[in-house]
A and B are shown apart, each in its own frame.
Chain A
Amino acid sequence: MAIEGADLIKAAAFLGAGLSMGLGAIGPGVGEGMAAAKACEAIGRNPKEAGLLTRTMLVGQAVSESTGIYSLVVALLLLFVV
């Protein structure tokens, strides 16, 4: 089979998209879990502040989600734009 430049670039972009989203999912997954564990701890110690604590947890998780979203964006760019 003949290997052409355009084909090779497509192949690298597809593999890169998979690696980008795959590796990019590790950090946010673990980090958000830690945030949730600490939020549970804080609610266990002070149940009255559950609302505030859940809100803070969600804001913190949203921030750590951002790198996962960057990975998603880069993966989509590699799939559909490059």
Chain B
Amino acid sequence: MEQDIQTWVNLAAYAGGGLSIGFGAIGAAIGEGYTAAQANAAVSRNPALAGDVFKSMLVGQAIAESASIFALVVAMILLFSTISANSFIAVIAVFAAGLAMGFGAVGSGVGAGFPAGAACVGMVRQPAMSGKLTTNMLIGSAVCQTPSIFALVIAFILIFSDFSSHPFWPTWGAILGAGLAAGLSAIGSGIGGGIVAGASSKGIARQPTAIKPVTNIMLLGQAISQTPAILGLLVAFILIFKEFTATETIAPAMALLGSGLCMGIGGIGPGIGEGIASSGGVKWIARNEKSIGTLTRTMLVGMAVAESTAIYAMVISLVLVFVV
């Protein structure tokens, strides 16, 4: 059979583009639906503020949308641009780029819905705080988008890099693994960061005087919740840029693919867990500002323990790349 690389690259690009926007649409839709539901609940409490709530709902939904717009951009590039096809690795790379951006957009979309919903409910509770609530919501949901930006970076690198000098075995495993590591690990951090931001918006609405410590601890919690996505990005970079020697066996390629899967899937749980832990801290700092020191300490200890499984996953994936 004649092996026409360009046809295979186009085939993989179309499949990858479909998966990119297909998966990428999941998160934003859930997040925006949650925001709309909370906005409806808020309007029913105080119909006089319907205009403000409506505005804030739309702003929040627009931010939640951005992750899926990244996925749409990647899908468009995969569908309509001419992708250089000088080796079979390019076939894997464009498919992996679609997977990375598709999975990577899920978490940020879901996550950005939480602060937007909480801000809508909050401004009905404390109409005087609506400006500050909107600011807090914007900061919180902007930080939620970082994991999807990591995924976008990896997707662009995969689409536009030239892998023709690398041997097909085992590099294809590394390339597919890199896409999965960056994409899957972004799910947890996106959702986790959103849970923290939602708790912060709720807390500010309940206790407007606590806005400063609550915002600070929210940013701290969100930063730590991003670590699994950063570990995923690190593993993806290692898998993309490391040179591998050509092999005649399947095992090295599977080790590299396993490495990416391990860090990608392993980052989901810790990201969500750290978000839950930090949301507990933020919520109660708003209610009991005097105990901020103890609460922050316990929150950080709890988050560190939740991070441990992500570290195990990173260790196993680095062992898979460098040792076996």
B310: chain A residues within 8 A (beta carbon): 25, 29
Q: Considering residues A1, A22, A47, A61, which has the most beta carbons from chain B within 10 angstroms of its beta carbon? A: A22
Residues of A within 8 A of B (CB): 1-4, 7-8, 10-12, 14-19, 21-41, 43-45, 47, 50, 53-54, 57-58, 61-62, 65, 68-69, 71-72, 75-76, 79-80
Q: Is the interface of A mostly helix, strand, loop or mixed?
A: helix
Supposing A1-B248, A12-B254 touch, asked if A50 and B265 sit within 8 A by C-beta, the answer is: no
Bound-state CA distance A31–B273 (Å) is 7
In the assembled complex, the CB of A15 is this many whole angstroms from the nearest CB of chain B, namely: 4
Q: Is the interface of B mostly helix, strand, loop or mixed?
A: helix
Supposing A40-B295, A43-B295 touch, asked if A33 and B250 sit within 8 A by C-beta, the answer is: no
Bound-state CA distance A25–B295 (Å) is 26
8 Å CB contact of A7 from B249, B264, B302, B324? B249
| Apart from the given pairs A18-B261, A31-B273, A53-B298, 8 other A-B contacts in the complex at a CB distance below 8 Å | A26-B268, A27-B269, A30-B269, A36-B302, A40-B277, A54-B301, A61-B305, A76-B316
Which residues in window 237-278 of B have CB below 8 A to A?
Answer: 248-251, 253-255, 257-277
Check if A19 sits within 8 Å of B258, measured CB to CB: yes
- Chain B: interface size category: 35 or more
Chain A, Cβ-Cβ closest to B306: A32
In the assembled complex, the CB of B323 is this many whole angstroms from the nearest CB of chain A, namely: 8
Check if A43 sits within 8 Å of B294, measured CB to CB: yes
Which residues in window 13-65 of B have CB below 8 A to A?
Answer: none
A79: chain B residues within 8 A (beta carbon): 316, 319-320, 323-324
Check if B299 sits within 8 Å of A14, measured CB to CB: no
A-B contact pairs, 7 of them (CB 8 A): A11-B249, A23-B266, A29-B269, A33-B274, A35-B277, A36-B305, A40-B299
**Residue B284 interfacial (CB < 8 Å):** yes
A53: chain B residues within 8 A (beta carbon): 298
**Residue B86 interfacial (CB < 8 Å):** no
Bound-state CA distance A11–B269 (Å) is 26
Bound-state CA distance A54–B189 (Å) is 24
Supposing A17-B320, A18-B259, A22-B265 touch, asked if A32 and B294 sit within 8 A by C-beta, the answer is: no
Check if A47 sits within 8 Å of B272, measured CB to CB: no
**Residue B287 interfacial (CB < 8 Å):** yes
Bound-state CA distance A68–B307 (Å) is 11
Give 5 closest A-B pairs by Cβ, nearest first.
A36-B302, A33-B273, A18-B258, A37-B280, A44-B284
A1: chain B residues within 8 A (beta carbon): 169, 248-249
B254: chain A residues within 8 A (beta carbon): 10-12, 14-15
Check if A72 sits within 8 Å of B303, measured CB to CB: no
Check if B262 sits within 8 Å of A44, measured CB to CB: no
**Residue B291 interfacial (CB < 8 Å):** yes
Q: When each residue 274-316 of chain B gets 1 if its CB lies under 8 Å from chain A and 0 otherwise, what string results?
A: 1111011101110110110011011101110111111011011
8 Å CB contact of A21 from B281, B312, B323? B312
Bound-state CA distance A10–B259 (Å) is 14
Supposing A36-B298, A71-B312 touch, asked if A25 and B266 sit within 8 A by C-beta, the answer is: yes
A25: chain B residues within 8 A (beta carbon): 265-270, 309-310, 312-313
Supposing A21-B316, A72-B316 touch, asked if A40 and B280 sit within 8 A by C-beta, the answer is: yes
8 Å CB contact of A28 from B249, B257, B269, B285? B269
Check if A58 sits within 8 Å of B305, measured CB to CB: yes
A35: chain B residues within 8 A (beta carbon): 277, 302
B307: chain A residues within 8 A (beta carbon): 29
In the assembled complex, the CB of B200 is this many whole angstroms from the nearest CB of chain A, namely: 13
A36: chain B residues within 8 A (beta carbon): 273, 276-277, 280-281, 298-299, 301-303, 305-306
